[in-house]
Structure 1
Amino acid sequence: MGTVVALDTLLDARTVWRGQATPAPDSRQPTGHPGLDARLPQGGWPDSALTEILHPADGVGELSLLLPTLVRLTQAQQRVLLIAPPYPVHAPGWAHAGIALPCLHVVAAAQREALWAAEQCLRSAACAAVLCWPTHADDRALRRLQVAAETGQCLGFAFRDAKHARNPSPAALRLQLDADRHVHVLKCRGGMAPAVPIALASSH
């Protein structure tokens, strides 16, 4: 208590200057999930960077996590690429969700070529976002994707199994999605990862 009184005295005497809290800048790339945006240092996806999305099984909501972003980008006539998605893309479903299909492109590639294709697309500066599903990606491969996203000023998203959460990663942002649609921020560039998981709204 004495320390608080002494500090207040210094402030009143203008011996110590009290700085104003600086609000987080509005992100150029909001996630579309207000609860998640509020907990990320940049108020959204890290721009020109790789985001790693870890999930326990396919279909727990990992794509709906990106849906607001994909809708926003494609409706703004910006190109989004899907590199070797693990399942066929159901175009009517994506269109019903609001995605402008002319701006959504699927790149077919064998697994051994998918990482190379993702890196080239990220680096090209020809698209706004690249989504990939690497099954075998070590630290070096992920670092190449991170550098490529920075070079091409592109949003990169890598969907991976939750078992990789224990391994370090050069991705600027690492999110782990659980079966109950809670997002755990494992790592975020520019700030400390919040300890409390973030609940997402129900998917459409």
Structure 2
Amino acid sequence: MSQEALQQLLQEHPQRLWRGQAAAPQGVATAWPVLDTVLGKWPRGALTEIYSSVDGIGELRLVLPAVAELSRREKRWVLWLTPPYLPYAPALVAAGIDLSRMLLVHPRQRLDSLWVLEQALRGGTCSAVLAWPPFLAPAQLRRLQLAAEEGQSVAFFFHKAEEEGGHSLAALRLRLAPTPSGLRVQVRKRRAGLPGEGELTFPEQMAWSFSPNGS
């Protein structure tokens, strides 16, 4: 096909042509130099599973810089779905998060949680979704992955370490463990990449991400 014919097609039928650069993977910077080296960026339009050996060891600190960036840059919501404790507003503000973009949802029923999660990911109204979902069957994970692709959300699913299974449809899976000065991050799975490991050191003055009394 000649260059002239190609240009004519692009002008007359742009919606019917696939361009390779349009499918290039997008992401959001982690803002952690060590993590950038090991991981690159948080995937957009995909699921990220984060497994922690202990609650509150730094799983939120890991993602807050990206969430803060999204809350300031995009006029979309940041959804918190069934967090185990109440997010601590002063710490979120200190991390640079725009609280006016936050939504906190606690559905009463498991099926309601899955419905809210899928709608939030698919609708395109959320720049980021932070969720502590119940056990997800492969078919449910597939639906949520497709929803994230459609809505171009950055989705973080938090789980306990003992819930980690084998195969996962998520684009990225991390396993976290505490260290004396911070957090060890092990990349268990990622698309088009090899596993890796890095260690983050958190500043002592960093505030709690959840309310200290859990209320």
TM-score computed with the length of structure 2 as normaliser: 0.76
In structure 2, the residue matched to 1:65 is: 62
C-alpha distance in 1, partners of 2:168/2:85? 25
Q: For residue 81 of structure 1, what is the amino acid of its counterpart?
A: L
CA contact (8 A) 1:47 1:154 kept: yes
- Counterpart CA distance in 1 for 2:136 and 2:27 is 28
> Is 1:34 aligned with 2:33?
yes
Aligned to 2:202: 202
Cα distance in 2, alignment partners of residues 124 and 134 from structure 1: 18
Q: Retained in 2: the 8 A contact 1:77–1:103? A: no
Q: One-letter code of the match for 1:50?
A: L
State which drifts further: 174-183 or 68-77.
68-77
Match of 1:7 in 2: none
Partner of 1:110: 108
Matched, 1:49 2:51: no
**Structure 1: 5+ residue runs without aligned partners?**
1-24
Tell me the SS of whatever aligns to 1:106.
strand
Aligned to 2:188: 186
SS at match of 1:64: helix
Deviation at 1:97?
2.3
Q: Distance in 2 between matches of 1:26 and 1:109?
A: 32
CA distance in 1, matches of 2:200, 2:114: 29
CA distance in 1 between counterparts of 2:45 and 2:104 reads 21
Matched, 1:101 2:99: yes
Moved more, 116-125 or 94-103: 94-103
Q: Structure 1 residues 174, 111: CA separation in 2 closer, same or farther (over 3 Å shift)?
A: farther
Q: Which amino acid aligns with 1:188?
A: R
Aligned length: 176
Aligned 8 A contact 1:139 1:168 in 2: no
Name the aligned partner's letter for residue 102 of structure 2. Answer: L
1:178 counterpart SS class: strand
- State the percentage of identical aligned residues: 42
Decide which of 73, 76, 82 is 2:73's aligned counterpart.
Answer: 76
Contact 1:84 1:111 in 2 (8 A): no
- Which residue of structure 2 lines up, in the alignment, with residue 160 of structure 1? 159
RMSD, aligned α-carbons: 1.8
The separation in 1 between residues aligned to 2:187 and 2:27, in whole angstroms, is 20
Q: Deviations over 1:147-179 (max 9, x none)?
A: 110011111110011113342210000001112
Between Structure 1 and Structure 2, whose CA radius of gyration is higher?
Answer: 1
Distance 1:65 1:47 in 2: 16
Cα deviation 1:56-109 (Å, max 9, x = unaligned): 121010100111111111122442111121211222221122211001111221
CA distance in 1, matches of 2:89, 2:158: 20
2:44 touches 2:155 (CA, 8 Å); kept in 1?
Answer: no
- Amino acid in structure 2 at the alignment position of 1:62: E
Question: Does the residue aligned with 2:188 lie in a helix, a strand or coil?
Answer: strand
Give the CA deviation at 1:193. Answer: 1.5
Question: How much does 1:27 deviate?
Answer: 5.7
Q: Could you report, residue by residue, the CA deviation over 1:12-42 in whole angstroms, capped at 9, with x for unpaired residues?
A: xxxxxxxxxxxxx9964111111111222xx
Q: 1:27 to 1:123 in 2, by over 3 A?
A: closer
